[in-house]
Amino acid sequence: MSETHVSSSSSPATSHASSAAAPHAAGRELTGGAPGTFRVAALQMVSTPDRERNLAEAGRLIAEAAADGAQLVLLPEYFCFMGFKDTDKLAVREAYRDGPIQRFLADAARRHKLWVIGGTLPVTAPEPSRVLNTTLVFDPHGNEAARYDKIHLFNFEKGEESFDEARTICPGDEVRTFEAPFGRVGLSVCYDLRFPELYRRMGDCTLMVVPSAFTYTTGRAHWEMLLRARAVENQCYVLAAAQGGKHENGRRTWGHSMLVDPWGEIVAVRDEGAGVVAGTLERARIDEVRQSLPAWRHRVLS
């Protein structure tokens, strides 16, 4: 297992969510330590059916990342709860903008004065038998900056493995990005990673994030290549926070949380187990890649 440190990007600081956005100008300064840089971290977990234990572990990892200088942290999908069966998530669902999980995320952002992208949590849906699998973003003041509801729902059967998220999750229907001090951030979740058209719809991003809980089977086969492909296609950084290990419900997740740069190089990765994968985004790296291979400007089809 390895943990290294990465870098890149830019754009003026705002805290509103958008479902589409215009390209930002190349060469703007990131708001970070050194000019043109911004420190980010993916937090890998092995979540349990105990919500309070998961929140305590997430808090520990956020504090560790903050102590290392992170200005943005990304939690994994289902960071707050991995039940014994799919329907267990109904018991911990929260009304939008109300509940202990959402308060935890806002408080963590405010306490550590950093951006928190809260993996996913189960949010009340129109159908009582299902939830929305929701990513919430909080700025360093603890204010909500964006919301994204997972669009693509995982369905997989192989041998004894069987998953059908649509049984307990309602799909979202809007592409979401938000503007941070270092540029535009595109939001996606896990299975979304297999649909490149979603990422194109995000526009010109500095960073795309992928909180996930890939299975061991699908992760071993496709996880790394998909993350690197999305980074290469969009010539931006991709930060992925994963569940990684053997869970109390018997499920094994792939892990390998990582940061990938705009050339598709893996800058930081952790194979299994809870921990922090940190790196530094560098505006110069994005500019270098886009100038040497201007594929972004060569797009013909919309």
| Residue 246 annotated in active site | no
Residue type, 219: G
Residues in the chain: 302
Distance from C-alpha of 67 to C-alpha of 295, rounded to nearest angstrom: 37
- CA distances in angstroms from 161 to 2, 216, 252, 261, 293, listed in the order given: 29, 11, 11, 33, 41
| Residue 236 annotated in active site | no
Cα dihedral 129, 135, 136, 140 sign: positive
Catalytic residue among 57, 77, 179, 282: 77
Catalytic residue among 190, 205, 236, 272: 190
Distance from C-alpha of 267 to C-alpha of 277, rounded to nearest angstrom: 9
Q: Is 261 exposed, middle or buried (0-12, 13-18, 19+ CB in 10 A)?
A: buried
Catalytic residue among 57, 89, 94, 150: 150
Distance from C-alpha of 46 to C-alpha of 252, rounded to nearest angstrom: 9
| Residue 150 annotated in active site | yes
Residues carrying an active site annotation: 77, 150, 190
